[in-house]
Structures are given as structure tokens and as C-alpha cells.
């Protein structure tokens, strides 16, 4: 069985004067959320064999805070294809993963991450978690999918199961949406 964890970058600072979207940093609320999600991942016993990440500044900032909470750092494989990627491009990136890797975490952006979940998990009315993702996959949220497959090329050829979806506001209501979300 393979496992794919998706982590959306934490809330970024739109008011920060940067020339390119790629360079937008995570704001203080986002850092707090990412660190808390790292603690949650550790408490849940999540482990990863490979980390794939967009090289955007907000993804790097998210990882810095996530690792602080997780208590251990994983060397990410930075892949420019993940930056603002569509679901199909994210699937192409995942198909490149070696077969001996069982647990991947991918850090990236919406709408690609949300669309990937919606594309891989059947919309058959049996998953309240899928319904929640379809409503919104907020910043710093974590989703875990599993499927039966021997290699990463099998991802998308058979249905995946969404086994976890956790938003920062589920752990701390002060991290929920506000007027700027």
C-alpha cells in the first residue's frame, strides 16, 4: 500500500511588497498554523520516505515551521513543476517517484492539491472527508490518501481512499478563516 500526504502551504502575506508571486512569504498566522500541523503530524505518527515540494518561498517557509513542530527535518526534493501546478501535472510528478518509496508528502498550492484529491478519490457519497475537501482545502491543511498499488504509476488507475483531512482551525479555532481569508 502507498500513502500520499498533501500539505498546502501556509497562509502567505499578500501585503508583503514582493515583485513576484513566487517570492511571497508566509505570514505570522501561517507560521503558527504550519508549526501546529507539524506537531499534529508527529502526534499522529506520520512518517515520510520522500518529501516533494514546490520551491516557492511560501512553501519553504511552511516547511521551516512544519519541521519545527514535527521535531525532525526531512530534506525536500524541490520540484519547480509543483509550483501552481494542475492536478494532472502533480500526478506526473508523483508518477516519477521510485517504486521502493511507500510514503510521500507533497507540499504545494491550490487549486492543484485540492483538485488532485477530488480526481483520485471517488465522488460516490461515501466520504465525508472528500466532501469537506471539496468545500475548501485551506492553507496549511493536511490530507492523506492511500491506495493499493506496487508503484507510483498505479496512482490514478484505481481509486484512492482519503483517510485523513485536517485543517488548522480543527486544532485551533483562532486559525480559522477571517475577513482576509
Query: Which tens digit of pLDDT belongs to each residue from 34-67?
Result: 999 999 999 999 999 999 999 999 999 999 999 9
CA distance 84 to 17: 20
The answer to whether residue 49 is domain-embedded is yes
> What's residue 180's pLDDT?
44
The answer to whether residue 180 is domain-embedded is no
The answer to whether residue 33 is domain-embedded is yes
Q: Is 151 helix (H, G, I), strand (E, B) or coil?
A: coil
The answer to whether residue 168 is domain-embedded is yes
Total domains in the fold of the chain: 1
pLDDT digits (tens, 9 = 90+) for 87-135: 999 999 999 999 999 999 999 999 999 999 999 999 998 899 999 999 9
What domain range includes position 10? 2-175
The reported pTM is 0.94
For every residue of 110-136, DSSP letters joined together read TTHHHHHHHHHS--SS--HHHHHHHH-
Percent of all residues in the chain with a pLDDT value above 70, rounded to a whole number = 97
Lookup result for grid cell 515520510? 48
Number of C-beta neighbours around residue 101 at 10 A: 13
Which grid coordinates are listed for 129? 472527508
Lookup result for grid cell 508566509? 26
The closest of 13, 14, 7, 8 to 26, measured between CA atoms, is 13
The answer to whether residue 181 is domain-embedded is no
Confidence of residue 146 (pLDDT cuts 50, 70, 90): very high
The answer to whether residue 84 is domain-embedded is yes
CATH code where residue 90 lies = 3.40.50.1240
Taking residues 16-45, report their average pLDDT: 92
The closest of 125, 141, 127 to 177, measured between CA atoms, is 141
The answer to whether residue 159 is domain-embedded is yes
Amino acid at each position: 500500500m502507498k500513502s500520499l500526504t498533501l500539505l498546502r502551504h501556509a497562509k502567505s502575506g499578500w501585503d508583503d511588497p514582493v515583485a513576484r508571486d513566487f517570492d511571497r512569504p508566509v505570514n505570522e498566522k501561517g507560521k503558527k498554523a504550519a508549526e501546529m500541523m507539524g506537531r499534529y503530524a508527529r502526534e499522529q505518527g506520520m512518517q515520510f520516505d520522500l518529501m516533494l515540494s514546490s520551491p516557492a518561498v511560501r512553501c519553504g517557509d511552511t516547511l521551516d515551521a512544519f519541521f519545527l513542530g514535527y521535531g525532525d527535518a526531512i530534506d525536500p526534493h524541490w520540484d519547480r513543476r509543483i509550483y501552481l501546478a494542475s492536478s494532472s501535472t502533480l500526478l506526473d510528478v508523483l508518477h516519477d517517484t521510485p517504486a521502493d518509496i511507500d510514503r510521500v508528502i507533497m507540499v504545494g498550492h491550490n487549486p492543484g492539491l485540492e483538485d488532485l484529491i477530488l480526481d483520485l478519490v471517488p465522488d460516490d457519497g461515501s466520504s465525508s472527508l472528500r466532501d469537506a475537501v471539496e468545500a475548501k482545502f485551506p492553507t496549511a491543511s493536511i490530507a492523506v490518501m492511500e491506495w493499493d498499488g506496487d508503484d507510483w504509476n498505479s496512482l490514478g488507475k484505481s481509486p484512492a481512499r482519503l483517510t485523513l483531512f485536517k485543517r488548522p482551525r480543527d486544532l485551533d479555532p483562532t486559525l480559522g478563516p477571517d475577513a482576509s481569508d
